[in-house]
């Protein structure tokens, strides 16, 4: 099977690029990333491409006297690499009409809102200010007007009462990482057609296919989107250091001097740390019988496992697929509390 040759254009962090690289690493995925292009030499995301042995190219907009000359340089690099589809992923330069027209229906973008709501910058702050109950992201074909064009895939997430822009952005970003690979797959499978500036998707249940609708949205009953387990720890400071240093959590608060209560959080997961003088769990038995202290649902469990591996996290159980289909791994904290991370296969 010939795989669709894709270029990804970035300007910064490149987490969407990383999600696309992961998707393309699956042998049966119908697209391959043949080039990663950035207008900034210091874009952190370039490292994802280098790690995956994907050719990179930096075309600095400052080196060009006009937008047209910059666009022409981009176009030349894309043509030389034989690119068939261009994915903008946090690419912070406006492309000129001529470029957009030349790549019409072969140029896609991801935007962190449910377009046509909140195009442009400061998306999450404006969504919160408007008091919307639902946020999300959109993958769309690019047209000359910014953040406008036929919608391919959208993913929705709830806006929660105590959201700030960081929390909302993190929740939306997590679904961006599913929506972009889905859109790329649909395009690469030849299922996406633009008709009267609307996208039609061929195949069964196409409408549902192009809408990622995580639990909590449009549910017929209330759904629990997060849990706040209590962990008993003998040293609040050491425990906070472990969660922040190894697991990428932040400290929400620490109380007492010396501290006897704290809360650490990452995205929707909040863990309450309660000081105890002596361990309350029989750790030998906990390990022997997999007695869990917390179960934390994750949208991309394999990626989290890789992140933790890179951080040198001690695993009680490495990543595995359970007989019922979920993928799980278990981390032991410094007090021997077993934390299960679980996601869809």
Site for ligand GRF, rule CB under 6 A:
10, 12-16, 45, 89-90, 110-112, 137, 173, 176
- Cα dist. 182→16, 72, 223, 253, 334 in Å? 12, 29, 25, 38, 38
Is-cis flag, bond preceding 116, omega within 30?
A: yes
| Shortest Cβ 38–ligand GRF spacing (Å) | 10
How far apart (Å, rounded) are the C-alpha atoms in residues 18 and 238? 32
Number of Cβ atoms within 10 Å of the Cβ of 24: 24
Question: 151 — phi, psi (to 5°)?
Answer: -85, 130
| Shortest Cβ 160–ligand GRF spacing (Å) | 18
Catalytic residue among 48, 111, 124, 177: 111
Query: Is the CB of 171 or the CB of 316 nearer to ligand GRF?
Result: 171
Q: What is the signed CA dihedral for 185, 191, 194, 199, rounded to 10 degrees?
A: -70
| Shortest Cβ 31–ligand GRF spacing (Å) | 17
Sequence-ordered list of residues with C-beta below 8 angstroms from that of 199, at least 6 positions apart, any chain: 141, 150, 151, 152, 192, 193, 210
Residue 124 annotated as catalytic:
no
| Shortest Cβ 152–ligand GRF spacing (Å) | 14
| Shortest Cβ 137–ligand GRF spacing (Å) | 6
Tokens 């254009």, located at residue: 9
Query: Is the CB of 132 or the CB of 291 nearer to ligand GRF?
Result: 132
Query: Is the CB of 122 or the CB of 282 nearer to ligand GRF?
Result: 122
How far from the centroid of its chain's Cα atoms is residue 177's Cα?
4
Query: Is the CB of 266 or the CB of 283 nearer to ligand GRF?
Result: 266
With contact defined as beta carbons under 8 Å apart, do 292 and 330 qualify? yes
Closest CA to 132 of 110, 150, 158: 158
| Shortest Cβ 196–ligand GRF spacing (Å) | 26
Query: Is the CB of 113 or the CB of 239 nearer to ligand GRF?
Result: 113
Number of Cβ atoms within 10 Å of the Cβ of 221: 4
With contact defined as beta carbons under 8 Å apart, do 328 and 322 qualify? yes
Closest CA to 212 of 193, 185, 188: 185
Please identify the residue of the shown chain whose CB is closest to the bound ligand GRF. 90
Query: Is the CB of 14 or the CB of 297 nearer to ligand GRF?
Result: 14
What are the catalytic residues?
111
């Amino acid at each position: 099977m010939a795989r669709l040759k894709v270029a990804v254009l970035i300007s910064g962090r490149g987490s969407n690029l990383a999600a696309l690289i992961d998707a393309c690493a699956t042998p049966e995925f119908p697209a391959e990333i043949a080039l990663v292009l950035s207008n900034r030499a210091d874009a952190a995301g370039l490292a994802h491409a280098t790690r995956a042995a994907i050719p990179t190219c930096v075309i600095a907009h400052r080196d060009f006297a006009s937008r047209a000359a910059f666009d022409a340089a981009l176009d030349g690099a894309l043509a030389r690499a034989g690119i068939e589809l261009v994915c903008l992923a946090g690419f912070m330069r406006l492309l000129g009409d001529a470029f957009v027209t030349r790549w019409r229906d072969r140029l896609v973008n991801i935007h962190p809102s449910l377009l046509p709501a909140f195009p442009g910058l400061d998306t999450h702050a404006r969504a919160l200010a408007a008091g919307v109950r639902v946020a999300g992201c959109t993958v769309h074909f690019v047209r000359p007007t910014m953040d406008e064009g036929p919608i391919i895939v959208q993913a929705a997430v709830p806006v929660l009462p105590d959201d700030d822009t960081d929390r909302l952005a993190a929740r939306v970003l997590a679904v961006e990482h599913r929506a972009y690979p889905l859109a790329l797959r649909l395009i690469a499978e030849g299922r996406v057609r633009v008709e009267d500036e609307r996208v039609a998707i061929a195949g069964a249940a196409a409408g549902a296919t192009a809408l990622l609708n995580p639990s909590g949205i449009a549910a017929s009953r209330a759904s629990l989107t997060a849990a706040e387990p209590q962990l008993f720890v003998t040293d609040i400071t050491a425990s906070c250091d472990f969660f922040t240093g190894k697991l990428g959590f932040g400290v929400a608060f620490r109380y007492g001097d010396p501290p006897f209560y704290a809360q650490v959080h990452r995205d929707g997961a909040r863990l309450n740390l309660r000081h105890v003088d002596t361990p309350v769990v029989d750790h030998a038995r906990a390990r022997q019988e997999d007695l869990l202290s917390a179960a934390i649902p994750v949208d991309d469990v394999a990626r989290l496992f890789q992140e933790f591996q890179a951080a040198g996290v001690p695993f009680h159980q490495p990543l595995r697929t359970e007989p019922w289909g979920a993928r799980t791994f278990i981390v032991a904290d410094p007090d021997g509390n077993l934390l299960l991370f679980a996601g869809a296969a």
